[in-house]
Every structure is written in C-alpha cells, then in structure tokens.
Amino acid sequence: MPALLPIPPTPTATVQFRSGLVRTVSGPPNSAGNVDYPWRFAETLVSPRGEAAAVRFCYEYPNGQFCQVNLVRPGLPVMMLKNGNVTRLLWSPDGQSVIGAGTNTVRLWTLSGALRTAVPSSPLIEPGDVQTSSQIVRLWLNRGNLCVATTDQLYGAQGQRRRITVTTTRHRLPTLRGLTSYTLPGPQEADCQAVRRSD
C-alpha cells in the first residue's frame, strides 16, 4: 500500500502597510483531497498609498491554475473578492480599485468588493476564420487608463491555426469602458500610448 502524502500546511502571506502595521493572511486550507494540487501563496500587491493589499493564492493542476484574491486592509476583516480566478493583478493609480486579468475578461473590484467586468476587443474575423482562442497576456496603466493586450489564435475550417494576432485595448478607469483598440499580427503588441482615444 503506497504511503499517504502529508497534507501541506495552509498557505499564509504577511502584509506590511505603510502605517507599519503587519497582518498575516491565511489562504484556503489544504486537505487530503488536494494533496496533489495544494493551495500556495502566489503574490501580494500593496496599493499605491500602502493602505490596502491584494493577496493572491493559487493551486496548479495539469491544465492550468485556479486562484483566489483576498483584499486586506488594516482594522477590517479580510475580504475574498468575487470571481478572483485571475492570473495578473494591479492597482488603479488612486488605490481605490484592484484590477485582475482572467483568461479573457478584465475584472475590477472596488474597496467595498463591488465587481465590474469587461471583455477586451477581439480582432476582426476574416473569411475562413471559424474559431478564436483569446487570452489576456498583459495589463498595464497608461495616462490613467488601463491597457490590455490579448493574444488571439484564429483557426480555419479544418482546425488548422491560420494566424495569431495581438489586440491592445484601452479602457477608461474606473468604469472599464472600452475606448479604442488596435490589432497587430502576433507577436507584435501595439503601444497603448499610440492607441488613440476616441472620446
């Protein structure tokens, strides 16, 4: 009979705020049911003013990973953010919202936990393109707006990959309203500063 693997400890993260206060945050507990794919600490991202932090815990499995994001503030209970399965995190410049990238959806949480989502623009489908696979590959801020780069794989009728494009979309914060987008052949990425605003 094979030996049972030990249950990994519950992952934790230590957050230090600008005030000097330090808090320890626990992630989801591991159990005998997830010994092969245990929860682990992934990252801590402190807000620009150092008054809040987003802490991400994930577990990896053969086809990907699943994550959870907790919002941590001094003197308040830790809040698990709804739909927190994201691969990238950043704070808005004013520190009033956390932004995350799902597979193909941008998520923005306010400090109260309210959630907004947006799907970045996709490339134009050309004749013969019958299927796309989109994935957000980068998030960054530019002049107070959110920039999102999405890789799109376009397939033909027989399932063969025809081309790869990268679409850069500029979103207004905090509404996530799409302003403009620009698509280039992959692996090129449009400079978000060059993606002109339409309003």
Whether the CB-CB separation of 165 and 154 falls below 8 Å is answered with yes
Over 60: is that where the pLDDT of 172 sits? Answer: yes
pTM: predicted TM-score of the whole model, two decimal places: 0.86
Mean pLDDT to the nearest integer, 150-177: 86
Over 90: is that where the pLDDT of 154 sits? Answer: no
Over 80: is that where the pLDDT of 22 sits? Answer: yes
**Beta bridge partners of residue 109, listed in sequence order:** 98, 115
Mean pLDDT to the nearest integer, 133-145: 90
Scored b (16 or more CB within 10 A) or e, 96-111 reads bbbbbbbebbbbbbeb
Whether the CB-CB separation of 129 and 154 falls below 8 Å is answered with yes
Average predicted confidence (pLDDT) for the chain: 89
Give the model's confidence band at 1: pLDDT under 50 very low, under 70 low, under 90 confident, else very high: very low
Task: Report the first-to-last Cα separation within the chain, whole angstroms.
Answer: 68
Q: What is the pLDDT of residue 197?
A: 43
Q: What is the pLDDT of residue 131?
A: 66
CA angle 71, 74, 75 (to 5 degrees): 110
d(CA 94, CA 86): 21
Higher pLDDT, 3 or 79: 79
Q: What is the pLDDT of residue 12?
A: 97
What is the per-residue pLDDT across 72-81, written as a single tens digit (0 to 9) for each?
A: 999 999 999 9
Over 60: is that where the pLDDT of 198 sits? Answer: no
SS3 14: strand
Higher pLDDT, 18 or 191: 18
Q: What is the pLDDT of residue 177?
A: 94
Q: Which amino acid is at 19?
A: S
